[in-house]
Amino acid sequence: MKAHALVLASALFVFSGTAAAQQPKQADPAALQNVLQKMDAVAASFRTTQASFEWETYEKVIDEVDDYEKGVIYYRRTGKEVEMMAEVKEVGDSPKTLKPSPKYVLVSGGKVRMYQPKMDQVTEYDFGKNRAEFESYLVLGFGGSGEDLQRAFAVTYLGPETVNGVATAKLQLVPKSEKVRNTYKQIFLWIDLDRGISVQQQFFQPQGDYRLARYFDVRLNEKIPDSIFRLKTTGKTTTVSPSGN
């Protein structure tokens, strides 16, 4: 469960620029309902999403961000299935130390497959019986409905907030599943008030570590070539599946 979640968080994920979770403010039912209805409308017509991203990982034990990644992420819905491809292009321990280090993370058919060209290796994780649960996280803020959000989380409206010049509504999500709470204690979403999609996400683990994701140049329902959702492996690529998956 933990291994699956960490890979999926890297793909998203999953996910404010503060090192500690904020306490919820007074709930505003009307404002929350407006945001959820906007998400419902987007979900009804959702086909594809493409965006540039910046991901950073904070570790509480050392009290600093120790991993920073930039790239492009793609989503598409085919029937009832949603696929995701994340192309990580640069990696470093801060924005100033970023260096080219390609990595590809594909979520499709109930599996996460991570391809590292330098190693010419694919690491594969099978969702198994947890497929529906993990796929619900896949579209968190990107094509997922407000109704689905409330089904899986206790949702609190924390108020308006401007993120990178975009007017957003900040939501706090607390998983209803105890099993999920053991992986993610709480999640914050910043929803673009005009387009009903997430422009920032933050996933907190119980020990205080978090992954912060920022999204830019988000494009909805544009044609994405089928080739994007395939790993460009070689004839010598090896595939490994960690024990327990």
Return the pLDDT at 54: 94
Q: What angle do CA 35, 222, 53 make, to 5 degrees?
A: 65
**Residue 59 belongs to some domain of the structure:** yes
Tens-of-pLDDT digits for all 245 residues of the chain? Answer: 333 344 444 444 332 222 333 444 445 789 999 999 999 998 889 899 999 999 998 888 888 887 889 999 999 988 878 899 999 999 988 888 889 989 999 999 889 999 999 999 999 988 777 776 666 666 677 778 888 889 889 999 999 999 989 999 999 999 888 888 888 899 999 999 898 899 999 999 999 999 999 999 999 999 999 999 999 999 999 999 886 55
**Residue 106 belongs to some domain of the structure:** yes
Domain interval for residue 37: 2-240
Q: For residue 57, what is the enclosing H or E element?
A: strand 48-59
Q: What angle do CA 157, 160, 164 make, to 5 degrees?
A: 125
How far is 186 from 171, CA to CA, in rounded Å? 10
Looking up residue 8, the CATH number of its domain turns out to be 2.50.20.10
Return the pLDDT at 34: 93
Return the pLDDT at 139: 64
Return the pLDDT at 10: 42
Return the pLDDT at 124: 94
The domain total for the chain is: 1
Please write the tens of the pLDDT for every residue from 119-177: 999 999 887 777 766 666 666 777 788 888 898 899 999 999 999 899 999 999 998 88
**Residue 245 belongs to some domain of the structure:** no
- Whether the Cβ atoms of residue 139 and residue 147 lie closer than 8 Å to each other: no
DSSP calls for 177-209:
SHHHHTT-SEEEEEEETTT--EEEEEEE-TTS-
Sheet hosting strand 210-220, strand order edge to edge: 153-163, 166-175, 186-192, 198-204, 210-220, 48-59, 64-78, 81-92, 99-108, 111-116, 121-126, 238-240
**Residue 107 belongs to some domain of the structure:** yes
